[in-house]
Amino acid sequence: MEVTHVKRAFKYRFHPTDAQAAELSRTFGCVRKVYNLALTARTEAWTLRQERVNYNATSAMLTAWKRTEELAYLGDVSSVPLQQALRHLQTAFTHFFAKRAKYPRFKSRKKSRKSAEYTTSAFRFRDGKLTLAKMAEPLDIVCSRPLPRGAQPSTVTVSQDAAGRWYVSLLCEDPGIKPLPDNGKAVGVDAGLEHLLTLSTGEKISNPRHERRDRARIADRRRDHLHKLTTRLVRENQTIVIEDLTVRNLLKNGHLARAISDAAWSEFRSMLEYKAAWYGREVIAVDRWFPSSKLCSNCGRVQGKMPLHVRTWTCDCGVTHDRDVNAARNTLAAGLAVSACGAGVRPQRSTPGGQPATKQEPLRREP
């Protein structure tokens, strides 16, 4: 039986020399320029001629751009990050045409992430020292934790955050990540604003409100909190059921946008899914239209309108519900139905008048 290891990114701070910082800044600018040029070319081809331009075509364009006087500077940096930018654009279009994402957007000098990705042909990693193409000296990396024994990076990504800090991320196989024993436990998760998460067990996990407390290190604090939280959920539960929230649509609500963004629901889900894949756990997403808050988890009746300010309610069957705990329990029940019976199956529910509900929204199992 072939043994496959999980690929994992190890991220470190580093302190570039002046020459290295200048080279990387030039590379970031060229990556952004090539991405935007290729996006323009692909957009014009489709708009004017209904022609789809693929990665190979944009790669040929890159070669031609380097030969022009105006864009000759693109040849001064490593070609690999530029090719990787074109590959990322191709992936963005693939997601767009599959209706998994919006149309690709141009990279902004001020707002877009400053980064460059290098594959094995564009870096050297020997004796724990990393040297990038076009650089004579290795990077001065702050090794906060060791790489797995014998690990060789397959991809290196260098970035600079808004505070000016430099990071390098090494993608390596990690043989230490293995599936956890099946403990048979399952939990439903309801995302909220007053509480970041409410679990079907009744536990409520507070929202640290990083956005309000400290605007300087928001990303660091949020990511650390979410890493600890998702690791705990994955280690404690075999099955985790979540809501398939469309955060992009929720962010259109001007009153809730900042709180929703601060809660970082999308980042939480992403972390949860890849860690579940690492450790042999299962994540199930319940359709966003499933009325988890309005459905009585005791009798199955669906209540009428329930504004956000209503935090507790009493069903006709006499049971009083905490809105979020009830939603988490319903989410769990729906997800377990999917796991046991297949997509499209959920516990029987009824309308306030006692009649079974007829609409069956699809549920889906995450890959």
- Digit-coded pLDDT (tens) for 330-344: 999 998 887 766 554
Q: Give pLDDT, residue 310.
A: 86
pLDDT band at 366 (very low <50, low <70, confident <90, very high): very low
Interval 84-100 mean pLDDT = 94
| Domain identity same for 118 and 256 | no
pLDDT tens, 94-142?
999 888 888 999 999 988 999 999 999 999 999 889 999 999 999 999 9
Sign of the torsion angle spanned by Cα atoms 233, 235, 237, 240 = positive
Could you tell me if residue 108 is inside a domain?
Answer: no
pLDDT tens, 192-245?
767 788 899 999 988 765 444 455 767 777 788 889 999 999 999 999 999 886
Question: Structural domain tally of the chain?
Answer: 3
| Domain identity same for 360 and 257 | yes
pLDDT band at 351 (very low <50, low <70, confident <90, very high): very low
Beta-carbon neighbour count of residue 83 at 10 Å? Answer: 19
| Domain identity same for 33 and 93 | yes
Q: Side by side, which strands form the sheet with 6-14?
A: 114-119, 155-160, 166-174, 6-14, 141-142
Query: Checking phi first, is residue 184 left (phi over 0); if not, alpha (psi -120 to 50) or beta?
Result: left
Could you tell me if residue 104 is inside a domain?
Answer: no
- Identify the CA nearest to 111 among candidates 156, 161, 159: 161
Answer yes or no: is pLDDT of 169 > 90.
yes
Q: Give pLDDT, residue 193.
A: 67
Domain hosting 90: range is: 20-97
| Domain identity same for 159 and 52 | no
The CA angle 349-350-352, to the nearest 5 degrees, is 140
Q: State the Rg of the chain over Cα.
A: 24
| Domain identity same for 248 and 142 | no
d(CA 12, CA 155) in angstroms, rounded, equals 14
Q: How far is CA 200 from the centre of its chain?
A: 24
d(CA 115, CA 77) in angstroms, rounded, equals 14
| Domain identity same for 260 and 219 | yes
Residues labelled as active-site residues: 190, 243, 324
Q: Give pLDDT, residue 340.
A: 67
The CA angle 77-80-82, to the nearest 5 degrees, is 70
Could you tell me if residue 109 is inside a domain?
Answer: no
Q: Residue 343: helix, strand or coil by DSSP? A: coil
